[in-house]
């Protein structure tokens, strides 16, 4: 006959401690079993956005005592950039860093910060995006299932061209230009006489190589990381769009967090924001030198002539968001 060995108090306590190392009171995950979140960016691992995403993840882990761990996915790993914004809305994706142009279809008011030549310099853009303009846009995002944490920067959008130098608006007539899907970009290039063609960033190199498009408008750091300098010859410093980017969390994921979690995520975003902007400024200077060294001919442009051409674009979009437009146009 076999007798079951009595459970001692020490054995009982040991079992309880083993369970406690996996879960604490309330089922909250500990450092031994973090909640893994998916963060996506449309760029490459060589882009600033990837470094910022990694830093954001480190800050989150530190501020939540290891409760959350961010896994960063880059260009195309989770689908096209447009799909990333949609996945953020539906909660398939937890968090993301995307340029404003890819958000316009989901949050139309974002169009105002992509209007061409509306920001005179970085300081003005930062003041507006960190102030009431940025807050209003994040409020609009929230109604679409997205929580905005910070408005970062990808660098001024410039023009990289295959066949000829561009210095004035007429130089773009008839030229096929790759654009982001935002309506503002289509309106802008149509007004300049160009033919806008929407393509995902991952398709740009091949499209330039095969002649599907003959120009793009990448910020300088992006032009380097996507190797646009290999398939274009001319660089026009148009500075036509500030090219803001947003660090965001899915509203569905946000709703599952405690107040402490939300505060930690917001604080982490606030910490990485100045690093993001400073890194892009430095990367832009380096990228300009890099493009020159790799054979690109750099041309200055008639800024005022380009801006005057945009009057019909302003008239088209201002009535949709007059308050936001006036806040930006008259900072």
227 and 311, same domain (yes or no): yes
101 and 233, same domain (yes or no): no
140 and 162, same domain (yes or no): no
* Residue that the structure tokens 């109604």 belong to: 143
41 and 190, same domain (yes or no): no
Give the chain's radius of gyration (CA, Å).
24
Tokens for 299, please give them. 């041309």
Number of domains the chain is built from: 2
Residue 225 parent element (H or E): helix 220-225
- Comparing CA positions, the residue from 146, 216, 214, 207 lying closest to residue 180 is 216
**Whole-number Å distance between alpha carbons of 81 and 176:** 21
Encode pLDDT of 58-109 as tens digits: 999 999 999 999 999 998 788 777 789 899 999 999 999 999 988 988 999 9
- Is 152 part of a structural domain of the chain? yes
118 and 48, same domain (yes or no): yes
- Is 266 part of a structural domain of the chain? yes
- Is 96 part of a structural domain of the chain? yes
115 and 235, same domain (yes or no): no
Residue count (the chain):
331
150 and 59, same domain (yes or no): yes
Tokens for 30, please give them. 């500990």
Encode pLDDT of 193-228 as tens digits: 999 999 988 899 999 999 999 999 999 999 999 999
151 and 162, same domain (yes or no): no
- Is 277 part of a structural domain of the chain? yes
- Comparing CA positions, the residue from 9, 51, 75, 108 lying closest to residue 280 is 51
In whole numbers, what is the pLDDT of the chain averaged over residues?
90
- Is 278 part of a structural domain of the chain? yes
How many other CB atoms are found less than 10 A from the CB of residue 278?
Answer: 12
Question: Residue 111 maps to which CATH number?
Answer: 3.40.190.170
Structural domain containing residue 233 = 157-241+307-329
φ, ψ of residue 233 in degrees (nearest 5): -120, -30
**Whole-number Å distance between alpha carbons of 270 and 140:** 20
């Amino acid at each position: 006959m076999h007798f079951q060995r009595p459970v001692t108090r020490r054995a009982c306590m040991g079992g309880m401690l083993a369970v406690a190392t996996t879960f604490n009171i309330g089922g909250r995950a500990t450092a031994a079993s973090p909640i893994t979140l998916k963060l996506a960016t449309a760029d490459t691992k060589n882009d600033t956005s990837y470094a910022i995403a990694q830093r954001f993840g480190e800050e989150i882990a530190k501020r939540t005592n290891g409760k959350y761990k961010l896994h960063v996915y880059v260009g195309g790993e989770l689908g096209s950039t447009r799909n990333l914004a949609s996945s953020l809305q539906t909660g398939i994706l937890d968090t993301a860093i995307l340029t404003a142009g890819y958000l316009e279809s989901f949050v139309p008011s974002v169009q105002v910060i992509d209007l061409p030549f509306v920001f005179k310099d970085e300081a003005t853009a930062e003041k507006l995006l960190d102030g009431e303009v940025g807050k209003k846009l994040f409020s609009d995002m929230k109604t679409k299932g997205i929580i905005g944490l910070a408005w970062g920067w990808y660098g001024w959008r410039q023009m990289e061209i295959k066949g000829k130098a561009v210095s004035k608006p007429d130089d773009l007539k008839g030229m096929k230009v790759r654009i982001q899907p935002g309506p503002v970009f289509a309106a802008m290039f149509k007004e300049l006489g160009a033919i806008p063609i929407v393509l995902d960033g991952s398709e740009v190199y091949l499209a330039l190589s095969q002649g599907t498009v003959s120009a793009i408008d990448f910020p300088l750091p992006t032009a380097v990381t996507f190797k646009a300098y290999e398939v274009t010859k001319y660089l026009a410093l148009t500075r036509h769009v500030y090219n803001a980017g947003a660090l965001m969390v899915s509203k569905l994921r946000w709703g599952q967090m405690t107040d402490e979690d939300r505060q930690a995520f917001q604080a982490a975003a606030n910490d990485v924001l100045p690093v993001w902007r400073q890194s892009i400024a430095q990367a832009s200077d380096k990228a300009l030198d890099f493009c020159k060294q790799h054979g690109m001919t750099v041309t200055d442009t008639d800024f005022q002539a380009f801006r005057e051409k945009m009057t019909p674009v302003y008239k088209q979009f201002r009535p949709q968001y007059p308050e936001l437009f006036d806040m930006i146009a008259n900072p």
